[in-house]
Amino acid sequence: IEVTGTQAVFQHGVSNDATVNGRQLVQSGTSNRAVVNVGGSQVVSAGGIANGTVLNGGTPTVQTPNSRANGTVINSGGVQTLTLGASAADPVINDGGVQTVIHQGAAINTFVLTGCVQNLERGLLGGAVATDTHHSGGVPYVYERATAT
């Protein structure tokens, strides 16, 4: 997907092995093994699923209502935002990567490695939740009404 390009994956649609330098929209569809580079973004919403996404920087990746991200790898400059009830299972946050969880988002079985950040914040719609988080030198920030276990 070129810098000015957009790929839309709608209901029951599937995208495999996309290299994203522009924008990938996953709305009720599935994206498998996308690589999001600097300047690229991936927006997963309306029950969409992103499996095995690798974030190599660029515009923050946003998961929105009822969507899921499974096995995301967040590298230096990559940002994953979970909001409005979205969830991420088994993400790995590497050196320089950031994961922000707000507005009832949930991060499950996260690996927070040296040099990275995990933010858990309470938004207007309620707190964030992180369960089964594994820290190995990374920095977790847990704000008011957020929960980390």
- How far apart (Å, rounded) are the C-alpha atoms in residues 82 and 85? 8
CA neighbor of 120 nearest in space, from 148, 94, 96, 98: 148
Mean confidence (pLDDT) of the chain: 86
Residue 73 has pLDDT above 90, yes or no: yes
Rounded average pLDDT over 66-88: 90
What's the pTM value of the predicted model, to 2 decimals?
A: 0.88
Summarize pLDDT for 13-46 with one digit per residue, the tens: 999 999 999 999 999 999 999 999 999 999 999 9
Could you tell me the two tokens for 4? 């000015």
How much of the chain exceeds pLDDT 90, in percent?
A: 44
Q: Are strands 111-113 and 92-93 parallel, antiparallel or unpaired?
A: parallel
